[in-house]
Amino acid sequence: MSADRGTFDVALCQYEFGGCESVEALGRRVERLFDRAGEADCYVLPELFASDCLPADGDLSTLDPSQRTALHRALADAADDREAVVVGGSYNVTENGSVYNRCPVAVPGEPVETYDKSRLIPEERTAGKRAGDARPPVVEHRGVGVGVAVCYDVEFPELVRDLADRGAEVVAVPSWTASEAGFQRVRRCSAARAVENQLYVAQVSVVGERSADLRGTGRSAVFAPCDDVVGAGGTRLSLPRDERAAATCSVDVDAVRRSRADASVRPYTDARRGEE
Q: Would you state the pLDDT for residue 3?
A: 47
Q: What Cα–Cα distance (Å) separates residue 12 from each residue in 32, 44, 191, 238, 260?
A: 13, 5, 15, 9, 25
Residues 169, 29, 33, 201: what is their CA dihedral angle, to the nearest 10 degrees? -20
Return the H-helix or E-strand segment holding 43. strand 42-45
Average pLDDT, stretch 120-145? Answer: 95
Q: Would you state the pLDDT for residue 5?
A: 58
Q: Would you state the pLDDT for residue 275?
A: 59
Q: Would you state the pLDDT for residue 211?
A: 87
User: Does residue 91 carry a pLDDT above 70?
Assistant: yes
User: Does residue 58 carry a pLDDT above 90?
Assistant: no
pLDDT tens digits, 159-214: 999 999 999 999 999 999 999 999 999 999 999 999 999 999 999 999 999 988 88
Q: Would you state the pLDDT for residue 1?
A: 42
- The model's pTM is 0.95
- Mean pLDDT rounded to a whole number for the chain: 94
Structural domains of the chain in order of their starting residue, each with its CATH number: 7-275 (3.60.110.10)
Those residues with Cβ within 8 angstroms of residue 77's Cβ, 6 or more apart along the chain or in another chain = none
Which pLDDT band, with edges at 50, 70 and 90, does 155 fall under?
Answer: very high
Distance separating alpha carbons of residues 118 and 113, to the nearest angstrom = 15
